[in-house]
Amino acid sequence: MSAADIYEAAAESSELYTLKQTRLAVTNLSDAELIAIYEYRMAKKKSVGRFIYDDLMLAAPFGRCPLCGQRSVSTLDHILPKTLYPALSVTPLNLIPACADCNHVKSNVSPSSADDEPIHPYYDDFDNDLWLHADVVQGSPPAVAFFVTPPAGWSDSVKNRVAKHFSMFKLAALYSSHAAQELNNIKYSLTQLFDRGGETAVQQHLSEQADSRRAANANSWQTATYTALARDSWFCQEGFTA
Ligand SMILES: [Zn+2]
């Protein structure tokens, strides 16, 4: 069984963490040679395998990093780091598109238990469940705080994996920053709406915005933001002007 086959079987059952002790040998190639193939024959610009690297980066919808869902893809990240798993250096299923920040955060982090299993964009799909939520933080200016509330049906290990992902990539801070800018951007139009139709008009508008974003992605920071804004009466009663 090849290293790629062993990897694929483990990834399909969310058991990449069990590969830690497995020797994924590649005949006649040293660890340094395996890593060099990735660095000089695939990642390096104009190298013979660079088209594979570029194709994998294009796999991300809208060019957005699947780890944070926000920043632009600019690199590939090894789900299992190449320094610890040299045999998986060029395995396409071990290479995911990522932004530079998420790639840096992940670095050589390797899973050691079921709770550590990384969220794998090719194998995991949690978008059918609503797990990202937010609350309005009253103040001047108003802010939005993000948190994970997993559905009751999730297993403990999935709950822990998503919570760990949210914390490791510092998504609460990233999303709050973008939401703060969004609130500033919509302040003028909400003021106009309030002048015409009061709290009801503002609440209805925000609710429609939430519905539209939810139809596209239930767990985007935009969906969580507009859902929180629409149900917060302080915000809809001119809290947006604070
Ligand atoms: Zn990212």
Q: What is the pLDDT of residues 43-55, one digit of tens each?
A: 899 999 899 999 9
The pLDDT value recorded for residue 135 is: 98
* Cα–ligand 1 centroid distance for 63 (angstroms): 11
* Cα–ligand 1 centroid distance for 170 (angstroms): 10
* Cα–ligand 1 centroid distance for 38 (angstroms): 21
* Cα–ligand 1 centroid distance for 66 (angstroms): 6
* Cα–ligand 1 centroid distance for 57 (angstroms): 12
Per domain, the residue ranges of the chain are 3-116, 132-241
**pLDDT > 90? residue 224:** yes
The pLDDT value recorded for residue 144 is: 98
* Cα–ligand 1 centroid distance for 97 (angstroms): 9
The pLDDT value recorded for residue 23 is: 66
The pLDDT value recorded for residue 21 is: 55
* Cα–ligand 1 centroid distance for 165 (angstroms): 11
The pLDDT value recorded for residue 31 is: 86
* Cα–ligand 1 centroid distance for 149 (angstroms): 21
Q: Phi and psi for 101 in degrees, rounded to 5?
A: -65, -50
Q: What is the pLDDT of residues 129-165, one digit of tens each?
A: 999 999 999 999 999 999 999 999 999 999 999 999 9
* Cα–ligand 1 centroid distance for 120 (angstroms): 13
What length is written for the chain? Answer: 242
Ion ligand 1 — residues with CB under 5 Å? 65, 67-68, 71, 99, 102
Q: In 3D, which of 81, 106, 96 has the Cα closest to residue 19?
A: 81
Q: What is the pLDDT of residues 187-197, one digit of tens each?
A: 999 999 999 99
**pLDDT > 70? residue 20:** no
One-letter-per-residue 3-state SS of the chain: CCHHHHHHHHHHCCCHHHHHHCCCCCCCCCHHHHHHHHHHHHHCCCCCCHHHHHHHHCCCHHHECCCCCCCECCEEEECCCCCCCHHHCCCHHHEEEECHHHHHHHCCCCCCCHHHCCCCCCCCCCCCCCCEEEEEECCCCCEEEEEECCCCCCCHHHHHHHHHHHHHCCHHHHHHHHHHHHHHHHHHHHHHHHHHHHHHHHHHHHHHHHHHHHHHCCCCHHHHHHHHHHHCHHHHCCHHHC
| Average pLDDT over the chain, rounded to an integer | 92
**Contact status, residue 141 vs residue 180, Cβ threshold 8 Å:** yes
The pLDDT value recorded for residue 232 is: 97
Q: What does the pLDDT average to over 67-93?
A: 93
* Cα–ligand 1 centroid distance for 115 (angstroms): 21
Report pTM.
0.91
* Cα–ligand 1 centroid distance for 233 (angstroms): 33
The pLDDT value recorded for residue 34 is: 87
